[in-house]
């Protein structure tokens, strides 16, 4: 019997696991993919919204603003790249400037400081903005974060503090038995006193295992372009158009690695497993984005991707105990501003929903910090050389485009969070994220993983089961 | 104290080695080649097919045989080189930062630098192939590396996007190894590869070539399962309803090579139309004493031409180090005109130029019965008749220096159809 | 029997037609008919591939047929290549298989692999 089972290791599940790991409770996380943060948490805009946009009084508004304020300290503790770059919501017509004023009021109700800027002020801040810009709403508290590393390091910290994680294990059924739950996967049946449902797109199916629910989670697809970092650079803030009923709109933003994201689109689809991109949608993304930033250098495009938002039919986060059992907690419908809200969601779930149903006594040995990751590029040459003298693997460059050394990769592989596939390593190290998209480094990474895990190169996976890169020996 | 070097060469492939040997033979002895791979030779290490060296050695050699000739020349002259060594930065004052596991990060002040780091392959993401993002979609060059250096096949049922030579070569290679290659799609209405490869790589193996087609969708949850190709119109847009589907486990991409030019920006150099550096007739960039040659300058189809160009770069670096390559303010700028995609060099410093100046370009599309016209300030100074000119074959024309008067103005190269009277 | 083929000798890529009497038309230079007749009567190809090798550093050794072999024998040559394991040390030009698949042509190494 474990105290708590968390279903789903996205950013929300991982942060909840981490929060719980500071208490003397046993926690088991069950994740259906072979890596943490492998669905919505890895395919989003990577933005820590300021919180002016959600309707005041909703959970979205409350947790967005709270979560936003928690980011700097959280990212220091978890060693996660985070940039408080601020956002600009752009008005391209005079009518849109009036809407900005409404947004400012809404932001103020939510407790978010914003500033209205004139066209000239915007142009001074953003040289590439459309020349017909009329003004913008500046939100200094908005930022960008690395969502892959945030999720991974949150889970690493949870594991370091005693949480157990099973990857590749989808929950098939949950049922109430006497005073606890039986959680069934293909591998085993687990018993738990408390179940926290953080299953993202599938949180509706999980919730329904216990009782009928009157809400739905609809997958809403967003397609993006990724551009390489290049000089002299494209934008200095996150740029939004005005929000609409479809969402925050198609934005242009930099990422913590100096890349640029253009997107996302917004279309409700039926299939929760459809992560495909299509040419027409992407063409429309391009069209809309270039209204705000006319000269986006799409020649620097290195990737396109699609993510699915877990859109709740209630239009707000669903964070509550199930009607039948206080010990079954649903954390569902975490669409935008989900990433920004996640630290606050984790805090509230633990303090307000878990604490009443299970004794949480602080763990003396709890350490909120992840062991700092070595980032060669942020070190002086002398510092690098001192390190390389002790460990020459830091002198060997594996990813040329992003300048990642073998030592940095081995550091990741040696941590408590498993990192078994090329994709998992890419998410955590950035090897393969650069302009050649793994053209040079993938073969080296493949051999490195084979050697590290003592497996044949034929067995190394790119991503999911069945995604081996190599088919057979040529002779 | 920072170490100094007369000449640092970035890249130990065909371009780097030929430049080193040429510089040495022109009197430069203090040379260092920095190569990021585990051996010299660059991309030719994996090009086990033949067709190299017809011009340089009058023999038809495989890639490894060709590169070995140059390795021998480097070794005979005892030119120093470092392997597994990555150059991460070149500053505006020619400080080269390199790193390897023995020495760590080292800065050396170079008097002259030759950039010869080669090119990279355009990826699936760069063209936004619609559909899923499974494993099994791989560039032709990477598949070639896995096969020819590591000894592994990447798949058994293959489709190839792009009829450039790398794709055609891999079509043959995979077929010979027992894979089934179901076809090659080419977005243009003409093939990008040499006729020799069309015959010996596609026709020999009955592999169909679908011109004016592109891959319009890829399907696969974890590994590639299926692709769809569609016809395109004259604006290269997919024509709806023209889908042909193929069940494959591998999509090889041969969709273009791009100079690997990340070092330019910190040197304050702006990429040219080729996406490599902009150079003059001596292969010198706008930064004094910094030269460029080979695929990092513009992508070549014949390594023999890389060697010729690299020899110029090496000889020029030697001249520079002997203070025999002063910069003059008066220059001729060179621009591509009608029908021409780019021109190298982009600048000619007539006071320094040799008597014969090689002008290199690629045409935009296959053209027949045409004159290549070189016009200086609008006046045609030289023209060459071509029965056929194709984009996949770099055109190299020799312009005599004495035709370029006044040492200023604009030289344009264009294709003009022969007028039928 | 008549043949249609593309000449590969130069970029013109003339479409050649060879009739029953081996007369060639469609060429724009004299090299075309020479190529066409050879290609039609006895097409030959150089075969390049890799063989397994017992090296500590490399898994495969690149090889080629020293000269072109008849096109119809390509897959016979490949069958031999499939079963061949080379032994270090190997130098460029070393004969790996003599008279491969009975073609009269040797299969030679195209790179040095010494250990």
pLDDT, mean of residues A81-90: 97
Q: Domain of B133: which CATH number?
A: 3.50.50.60
Q: Class for domain A1-84+142-216+313-372, per CATH?
A: alpha beta
Q: In a mutagenesis test of the B interface, which of A395, A402, A426 is the best target, namely the one with the most B β-carbons within 10 Å?
A: A395
Using DSSP's 3-state secondary structure scheme, residue A188 falls into coil
Check: CB of residue B10 under 8 Å from CB of residue B86. Answer: no
With beta carbons under 8 A apart, name residues in chain A contacting B219: 276
What percent of chain B clears pLDDT 70, i.e. is strictly above it? 100
Using DSSP's 3-state secondary structure scheme, residue C113 falls into strand
ipTM for the complex shown: 0.95
Residue ending a domain, choose from B327, B361, B383? B327
Query: What's the confidence (pLDDT) of residue A184?
Result: 98
Work out the mean pLDDT of chain A and round it to a whole number.
Answer: 97
Nearest to B280 by CA among B323, B241, B240, B331: B331
Alpha helix (H) ranges present in A299-380?
338-348
Q: Which two tokens stand for residue B87?
A: 């150059």
CA distances from B354 to A176, B289, B293, B348 (A): 88, 18, 17, 10
| pLDDT-derived band at C11, boundaries 50, 70, 90 | low
Check: CB of residue A51 under 8 Å from CB of residue A64. Answer: yes
Same domain flag for B136 and B191:
yes
Same domain flag for B99 and B13:
yes
Taking the C-alpha atoms of residue A47 and residue A307, their distance in angstroms, rounded to an integer, is 14
Query: What's the confidence (pLDDT) of residue C31?
Result: 86
Q: Which two tokens stand for residue B229?
A: 């190709």
Look at B62 and C11 and tell me if their CB atoms are within 8 Å. no
Same domain flag for B149 and B241:
yes
CB within 8 Å of A19: residues ≥ 6 apart: A346, A347, A349, A350
For B179, the closest chain A residue by CA position comes to A474
List, in order of start, the domains of chain C with CATH numbers: 3-41 (no CATH), 45-109 (3.10.530.10)
Q: Which two tokens stand for residue B252?
A: 């090889």
Instruction: Tally the domains of chain B.
Output: 3
For A470, the closest chain B residue by CA position comes to B154
Taking the C-alpha atoms of residue A467 and residue A106, their distance in angstroms, rounded to an integer, is 47
Same domain flag for B20 and B41:
yes
Pick from A302, A401, A465: which is nearest to B126 by CB? A302
CA angle B122, B207, C72 (to 5 degrees): 125
Query: Which residues span the domain enclosing B262?
Result: 1-120+257-327
Tell me the count of B-C CB pairs closer than 8 A: 73
Same domain flag for B127 and B70:
no
| pLDDT-derived band at A245, boundaries 50, 70, 90 | confident
Residues 184-243 of A with CB under 8 A from B: 225-226, 230-231
Residues in C whose CB is inside 8 Å of some CB of B read 5-8, 11-13, 28, 45-50, 52, 58-60, 62, 64, 71, 74-75, 78, 92, 110-112
CB within 8 Å of A263: residues ≥ 6 apart: A45, A222, A223, A224, A225, A250, A251, A285, A289
Check: CB of residue B404 under 8 Å from CB of residue B349. Answer: no
Look at B135 and A468 and tell me if their CB atoms are within 8 Å. yes
Look at C11 and B393 and tell me if their CB atoms are within 8 Å. yes
For A387, the closest chain B residue by CA position comes to B104
Query: What's the confidence (pLDDT) of residue A209?
Result: 98
Is some CB atom of chain C closer than 8 A to the CB atom of B48? yes
Q: Tell me the per-residue pLDDT of B318-361, one tens digit each, with 9 for 90 and over.
A: 999 999 999 888 899 999 999 999 999 999 998 889 999 999 99
The torsion region of residue B345 among left (phi > 0), alpha (psi -120 to 50) and beta comes to beta
Is some CB atom of chain B closer than 8 A to the CB atom of A282? yes
Distance from CA of A475 to the nearest CA of C (A): 6
Query: Any idea of the CA torsion for A27, A32, A34, A37, to the nearest 10 degrees?
Result: -70
Same domain flag for B316 and B383:
no
Is some CB atom of chain C closer than 8 A to the CB atom of A472? no
Is some CB atom of chain C closer than 8 A to the CB atom of B43? no
Same domain flag for B72 and B176:
no
Q: Tell me the per-residue pLDDT of A218-233, one tens digit each, with 9 for 90 and over.
A: 999 999 999 999 878 8
Taking the C-alpha atoms of residue C110 and residue C96, their distance in angstroms, rounded to an integer, is 10
Question: pTM for this one?
Answer: 0.95
| pLDDT-derived band at C22, boundaries 50, 70, 90 | confident
Query: What's the confidence (pLDDT) of residue A417?
Result: 98
Taking the C-alpha atoms of residue B14 and residue B300, their distance in angstroms, rounded to an integer, is 12
**What subunits make at least 3 CB pairs under 8 angstroms with A?**
B, C
Check: CB of residue B163 under 8 Å from CB of residue B170. Answer: no
With beta carbons under 8 A apart, name residues in chain B contacting A279: 128, 130, 216, 238
Check: CB of residue A433 under 8 Å from CB of residue A439. Answer: no
Q: Tell me the per-residue pLDDT of A313-330, one tens digit each, with 9 for 90 and over.
A: 999 999 999 999 999 999
Same domain flag for B156 and B185:
yes
The torsion region of residue A74 among left (phi > 0), alpha (psi -120 to 50) and beta comes to alpha
Taking the C-alpha atoms of residue C61 and residue C63, their distance in angstroms, rounded to an integer, is 6
* Whether pLDDT at B220 is above 90: yes
Using DSSP's 3-state secondary structure scheme, residue B75 falls into helix
| pLDDT-derived band at A21, boundaries 50, 70, 90 | very high
| pLDDT-derived band at A6, boundaries 50, 70, 90 | very high
Same domain flag for B367 and B307:
no
CB within 8 Å of A353: residues ≥ 6 apart: A319, A320, A321, A326, A329
Residue ending a domain, choose from B218, B235, B255? B255
Look at B222 and A392 and tell me if their CB atoms are within 8 Å. no
Same domain flag for B241 and B306:
no
CB within 8 Å of B151: residues ≥ 6 apart: A473, A474, A475, C50, C52, C58, C59, C60
Query: What's the confidence (pLDDT) of residue A85?
Result: 97
Query: What's the confidence (pLDDT) of residue B421?
Result: 63
Query: What's the confidence (pLDDT) of residue C109?
Result: 98
Q: Where are the beta strands (DSSP E) in B287-355?
A: 290-292, 332-336, 340-344, 347-348
Residues 295-354 of A with CB under 8 A from B: 301-305
Same domain flag for B80 and B166:
no
What percent of chain A clears pLDDT 70, i.e. is strictly above it? 100
Residue ending a domain, choose from B327, B345, B364? B327
Work out the mean pLDDT of chain B and round it to a whole number.
Answer: 95
pLDDT, mean of residues B214-236: 97
Distance from CA of B186 to the nearest CA of C (A): 18
DSSP 8-state code for residue B269: P
In the CATH scheme, what is the code of domain A85-141+217-312?
Answer: 3.30.9.10
CB contact burial A177-189 (16+ within 10 A = b; e otherwise): eeebbebebeeee
Tokens 């040659």 map to which residue?
A: B293
For B195, the closest chain C residue by CA position comes to C8
With beta carbons under 8 A apart, name residues in chain C contacting A475: 50-52, 60, 81-82
Look at C111 and B68 and tell me if their CB atoms are within 8 Å. yes
Same domain flag for B167 and B105:
no
With beta carbons under 8 A apart, name residues in chain A contacting B130: 276-279, 282
| pLDDT-derived band at A279, boundaries 50, 70, 90 | very high
Q: Hey, which residues of A are catalytic here?
A: 49
SS3 content of chain A, % helix, strand, coil (to 5): 35, 25, 40
Q: At what angle do helices A59-78 and A338-348 cross, to 10 degrees?
A: 90
What are the φ and ψ backbone dihedral angles of B232, each rounded to 5 degrees? -120, 155
């Amino acid at each position: 019997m474990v105290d708590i089972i968390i279903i789903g290791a996205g950013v929300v599940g991982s942060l909840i696991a981490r929060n719980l790991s500071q208490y003397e409770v046993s926690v088991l996380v069950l994740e259906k993919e072979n890596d943490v943060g492998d669905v919505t948490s890895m395919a989003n805009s990577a933005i820590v919204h300021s919180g002016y946009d959600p309707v005041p009084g909703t959970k979205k508004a409350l947790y967005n603003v709270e979560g936003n304020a928690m980011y700097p300290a959280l990212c220091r503790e978890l060693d996660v790249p985070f940039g408080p770059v601020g956002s600009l919501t752009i008005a391209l017509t005079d009518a849109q400037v009036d809407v900005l004023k409404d947004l400012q009021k809404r932001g103020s109700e939510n407790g978010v400081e914003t500033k209205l800027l004139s066209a000239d002020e915007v142009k001074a801040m953003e040289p590439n903005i459309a020349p017909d810009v009329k003004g913008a709403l500046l939100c200094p508290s908005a930022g960008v974060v690395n969502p892959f590393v945030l999720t991974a390091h949150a889970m690493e910290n949870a594991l370091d503090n005693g949480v157990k994680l099973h990857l590749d294990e989808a929950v098939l059924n949950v049922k109430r038995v006497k005073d606890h739950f039986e959680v069934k996967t293909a591998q085993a049946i687990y018993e738990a006193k408390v179940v926290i449902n953080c299953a993202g797109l599938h949180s509706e199916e999980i919730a329904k295992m216990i009782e009928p629910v009157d809400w739905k989670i609809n997958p809403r697809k967003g397609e993006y372009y990724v551009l390489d970092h290049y000089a002299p650079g494209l934008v200095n803030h996150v740029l939004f158009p005005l929000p609409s009923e479809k969402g925050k709109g198609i934005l242009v933003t930099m990422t913590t690695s100096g890349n640029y994201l253009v997107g996302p689109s917004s279309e409700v689809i039926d299939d929760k497993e459809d992560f495909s991109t299509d040419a027409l949608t992407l063409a429309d993304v391009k069209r809309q984005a270039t209204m705000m930033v006319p000269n986006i250098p799409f020649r620097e495009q290195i990737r396109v991707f699609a993510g699915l938002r877990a859109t709740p039919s209630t239009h707000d986060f669903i964070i509550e105990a199930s009607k039948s059992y206080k010990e079954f907690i649903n954390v569902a419908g975490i669409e935008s501003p989900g990433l920004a809200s996640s630290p606050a969601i984790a805090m509230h779930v633990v303090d307000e929903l878990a604490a009443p149903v299970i004794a949480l006594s602080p763990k003396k040995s709890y350490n909120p910090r992840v062991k700092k990751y070595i980032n060669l590029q942020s070190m002086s040459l002398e510092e690098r050389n001192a390190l390389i003298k002790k460990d020459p693997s830091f002198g060997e460059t594996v990813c040329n485009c992003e300048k990642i050394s073998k030592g940095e990769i081995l550091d990741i592989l040696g941590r408590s969070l498993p990192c078994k596939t090329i994709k998992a390593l890419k998410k955590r190290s950035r090897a393969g994220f650069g302009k050649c998209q793994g053209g040079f480094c993938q073969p080296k990474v493949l051999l490195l993983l084979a050697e590290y895990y003592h497996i044949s190169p034929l067995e190394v996976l790119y991503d999911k089961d069945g995604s081996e890169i190599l088919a057979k020996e040529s002779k | 104290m920072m170490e100094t070097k007369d000449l640092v060469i970035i890249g130990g492939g065909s371009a780097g080695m030929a430049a080193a040997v040429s510089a040495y033979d022109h009197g430069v002895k203090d040379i260092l080649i920095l190569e990021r791979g585990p051996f010299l030779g660059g991309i030719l290490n994996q090009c086990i097919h033949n067709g190299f060296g017809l011009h340089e050695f009058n023999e038809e050699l495989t890639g490894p045989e060709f590169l070995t000739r140059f390795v021998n020349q480097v070794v005979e002259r005892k030119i120093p080189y470092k392997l597994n060594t990555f150059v991460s930065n070149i500053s505006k004052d020619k400080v080269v930062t390199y790193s390897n596991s023995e020495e760590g990060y080292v800065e050396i002040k170079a008097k002259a630098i030759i950039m010869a780091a080669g090119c990279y392959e355009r990826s699936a993401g760069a063209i936004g192939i619609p559909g899923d993002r499974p494993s099994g979609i791989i560039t032709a060059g990477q598949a070639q590396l896995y096969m020819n250096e590591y000894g592994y096949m990447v798949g058994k049922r293959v489709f190839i996007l792009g009829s450039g030579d790398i794709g055609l070569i891999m079509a043959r290679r995979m077929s010979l190894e027992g894979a089934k290659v179901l076809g090659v799609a080419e977005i243009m209405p003409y093939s990008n590869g040499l006729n020799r490869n069309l015959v010996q790589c596609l026709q020999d193996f009955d592999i169909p070539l679908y011109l004016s087609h592109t891959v319009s969708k890829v399907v696969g949850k974890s590994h590639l399962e299926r692709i769809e190709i569609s016809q395109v119109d004259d604006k290269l847009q997919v024509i709806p309803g023209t889908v042909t589907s193929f069940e494959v486990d591998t999509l090889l991409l041969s969709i273009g090579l791009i100079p690997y030019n990340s070092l330019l920006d910190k040197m304050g150099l702006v990429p040219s139309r080729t996406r490599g550096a902009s150079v003059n007739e001596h292969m010198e960039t706008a930064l004094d004493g910094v030269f460029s040659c080979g695929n990092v300058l513009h992508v070549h189809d014949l390594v023999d031409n890389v060697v010729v160009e690299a020899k110029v770069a090496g000889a020029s670096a030697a001249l520079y180090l002997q203070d025999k390559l002063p910069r003059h303010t008066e220059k001729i700028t060179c621009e591509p005109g009608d029908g021409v995609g780019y021109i190298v060099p982009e600048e000619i410093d007539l006071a320094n130029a040799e008597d014969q100046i090689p002008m290199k370009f690629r045409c935009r599309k296959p053209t027949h019965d045409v004159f290549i016209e070189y016009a200086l300030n609008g006046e045609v100074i030289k023209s060459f008749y071509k029965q056929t000119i194709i984009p996949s074959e770099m055109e190299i024309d020799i312009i005599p220096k004495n035709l370029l008067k006044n040492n200023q103005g604009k030289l344009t190269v264009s294709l003009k159809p022969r007028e039928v009277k | 029997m008549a043949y249609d083929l593309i000449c590969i000798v130069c970029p013109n890529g003339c479409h050649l037609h060879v009739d029953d009497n081996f007369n060639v038309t469609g060429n724009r230079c004299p090299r075309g008919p020479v190529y066409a007749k050879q290609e039609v009567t006895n097409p030959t190809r150089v075969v390049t591939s890799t063989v397994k090798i017992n090296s500590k550093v490399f898994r495969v050794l690149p090889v080629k047929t020293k000269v072109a072999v008849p096109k119809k024998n390509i897959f016979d040559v490949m069958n031999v290549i499939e079963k061949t394991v080379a032994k270090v040390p190997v130098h460029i030009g070393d004969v790996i298989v003599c008279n491969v698949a009975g073609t009269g042509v040797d299969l030679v190494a195209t790179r040095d692999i010494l250990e």
